[in-house]
Structure 1
């Protein structure tokens, strides 16, 4: 352009500025270009077409971005379509349900469940199908329906109603048993022990509950009504562990096991209650009845003593946590009984090792007996055995040695000879015999 190519000769000053013809042409050209650019920018606002209208924005995204956008659009469109699938058919079946035509509604709802598997309408159809069975008093099918619903849709909006139905079904099949507060806990508070509890009719499981085959009650399953009832209670707890019925369902399950003599399973249930529901009202029952179940689960000195140790810890915890519990006398009696059982256990094991000639092993259990149950009846006998064995076989469990300088030799085959004069000073050094 002319205006752009203009130069001044060397040594000459530039011409004075003024309205030069070349300068005016430059300004006109610049103004024209500026107006053109502005006009192009204003075309979209004026409704006119431009090349920007045909620009594909998807080309700006990378492969991952375009793929994500496409999937999002397809999912959104598919969801809107799926929400409409089966809706009219479901409403028709639901209308029959609400007018108490449960059998007809149940047939249609069952077809919907099969037809619209994995569709949003499936959840509603599954729930109302189970509800129809419940209203028809076909409780076994209703149980299957509710559990299928909760398995397929764990966070179902029908969770609370479904667990309530399962809870009610379980109680009906178990014969609506009285709760532990009215039976076991009340008995322990009154008697102070479990004496007579096994003859209480409220602790007996009816034959129509435990009998494995049902042919008289159409509301119950044909096979194993007791097991199916316990499944309902477990389902309530497992599917809604923080719900209002979870702790009650688990307690009923535990008490039923206790009453049926399944002490190991009852002990496990009570332990779960203590761990998960320590802040609820069932906690005290879990401690008192759990200690009772652990004590009953102990089978004697010839078996594992883990249950006995657990019973002792639970009983001590119950007395510490609930000092004003009405069952306090029973707990204190149980603690004394447990100490006696522990002493008998150590005594029997010590005698077993002594018969085998394993004197050091025998001394270990005798010392353990004296240390853990110093006031028990067996403690004095254990002290005498330790004196007879002598310090050479000491296990070192006792804070002070109780051995005399004169040691009586003990034979593994026959007991040591008694020497009354030598035994008198021994007893003066031991703890006094309990009154």
Structure 2
């Protein structure tokens, strides 16, 4: 019978989402009924008339001039303090209903819960909270979790709900159900970002993420998608991915806290160990730029340098990672010159030599490309750069040999049937470029030019010069 009643209520809320339930009025005209309903303090029409004059009182609710007590965002009288963040002048739920509010499952569930007697109730929530504390102190963590979750649902958006969510996470944590515990902690940070339990919550998330990361990398084999159907202390799927999720939650919810830079560094290390060097490089760069005082700065420089080198795939590909690595190596040597050990200094020296060899290889490749297209001048440019930068290297000797071979070749390829090409009109873009007159070299020197100094308007309205 109860199931049929709940189903009927749910269907009614979906079919008539906008029209509120009203008790029929007997014993008077419709105008008298409307007047009575409009004068009722706390009614829907009363709140519609007076909400523009409502004044928010942090920690208490809305105060309406001329009426006693406080009201929530829907105009319902309240007698207990509420979380300031849950009070809005405009009802957020009404704004986010969309085009088909009757199909919103949250709205339907909320109405069914309220109709079945499970709506917001402070007294019930306080009772559930006390029962949960008693069960937790007895070591009955699973039953305590049920009580705390029910307390948070019965009085949402309040300080009591904040405490209930934290205790919910603690119950799951001590029951070794770390996935459920992390969900409760993240929900607490999402709904109550200014919770006084912020530091404790962040520390719990850090320990859970560290445990999941160590569990994943401590195993030599993983099932597809890291599927663990019987696991309790780790997620069922993608253990290390959930660890990264918690690291992100730490950084985003407490960006100035003591664990923020640790979380970024841990995330970068996870990506590096999984050979996702682009993601690792991003987080190393984030740590270098956003947390300059972090104790991980040197590791972020050195490991970021390695990540950039691993992003470079050879002379046939983009050279941006290689050039970025060159700049980062120079910055690392300058910024940490006073604290480098001999081993670290040798690592940087080896890295610098590796970068130099890669640049020489790329320049030789570019020279070979331009030689193949008969653009000898461009080929000579790259060969000369290799020969002059490190004259004693094998690449420099190879560049000098190649320069001697192409010395007598024309700088540019001959245009086939050039006389025929010249008969066709020139492209407008190149025509405008070629029309620019070249400045004589004499005018570019200090002695060959003439300084023009404007002195002001002449009597005739013209500017004179000397």
TM-score, scaled to structure 1? 0.63
How many angstroms does 1:210 deviate by? 8.7
User: What are the superposed Cα offsets for residues 368-388 of structure 1, whole Å, 9 maximum, x if unpaired?
Assistant: 434655554223333444455
Aligned mates of 2:379, 2:315 — CA distance in 1? 15
Task: Tell me which residue corresponds to 2:394.
Answer: 377
**Unmatched 5+ stretches in structure 1:** 1-63, 178-202, 391-406, 413-435
Structure richer in helix, relative to its length? 1
Aligned mates of 1:268, 1:70 — CA distance in 2? 43
Task: Tell me which residue corresponds to 1:105.
Answer: 144
Q: Give 1 or 2 for the bigger CA radius of gyration.
A: 1
Aligned mates of 1:80, 1:382 — CA distance in 2? 86
CA gap 1:321/1:205 in 2 versus in 1, 3 angstroms: farther
> Does residue 1:233 correspond to 2:247, yes or no?
yes
TM-score, scaled to structure 2? 0.60
Aligned mates of 1:69, 1:233 — CA distance in 2? 40
User: What are the superposed Cα offsets for residues 174-228 of structure 1, whole Å, 9 maximum, x if unpaired?
Assistant: 2269xxxxxxxxxxxxxxxxxxxxxxxxx88743599621245321111111111
- Asked whether the equivalents of residues 209 and 225 of structure 1 are also in contact (C-alpha less than 8 Å), the reply is no
Aligned to 1:221, which of 230, 235, 239? Answer: 235
Aligned mates of 1:358, 1:163 — CA distance in 2? 61
Aligned mates of 2:389, 2:258 — CA distance in 1? 42
How many angstroms does 1:287 deviate by? 0.9
Aligned mates of 2:53, 2:303 — CA distance in 1? 61
Aligned alpha-carbon RMSD (Å): 3.2
Aligned mates of 2:169, 2:218 — CA distance in 1? 32
Alignment of 1:248-327 (within 5 A): 248-323=262-337, 324-326=339-341, 327=344
- Asked whether the equivalents of residues 274 and 283 of structure 1 are also in contact (C-alpha less than 8 Å), the reply is yes
Aligned mates of 2:260, 2:139 — CA distance in 1? 31
CA gap 1:379/1:114 in 2 versus in 1, 3 angstroms: same
**Unmatched 5+ stretches in structure 2:** 1-49, 72-77, 83-121, 414-466
Aligned mates of 2:193, 2:366 — CA distance in 1? 52
Aligned to 1:152, which of 185, 191, 207? Answer: 191
- Asked whether the equivalents of residues 346 and 365 of structure 1 are also in contact (C-alpha less than 8 Å), the reply is yes
**What SS does structure 2 have at the residue aligned with 1:175?**
helix
Q: Which structure exhibits the higher relative contact order, with contacts defined as CA atoms closer than 8 Å and separated by 6 or more residues?
A: 1
Aligned to 2:53, which of 64, 67, 73? Answer: 67
CA gap 1:215/1:374 in 2 versus in 1, 3 angstroms: farther
Aligned mates of 2:321, 2:260 — CA distance in 1? 26
- Asked whether the equivalents of residues 340 and 373 of structure 1 are also in contact (C-alpha less than 8 Å), the reply is no
How many angstroms does 1:69 deviate by? 5.6
Aligned mates of 1:335, 1:88 — CA distance in 2? 67
Aligned to 1:168, which of 207, 219, 228? Answer: 207
Aligned mates of 1:143, 1:114 — CA distance in 2? 18
Aligned mates of 1:107, 1:147 — CA distance in 2? 18
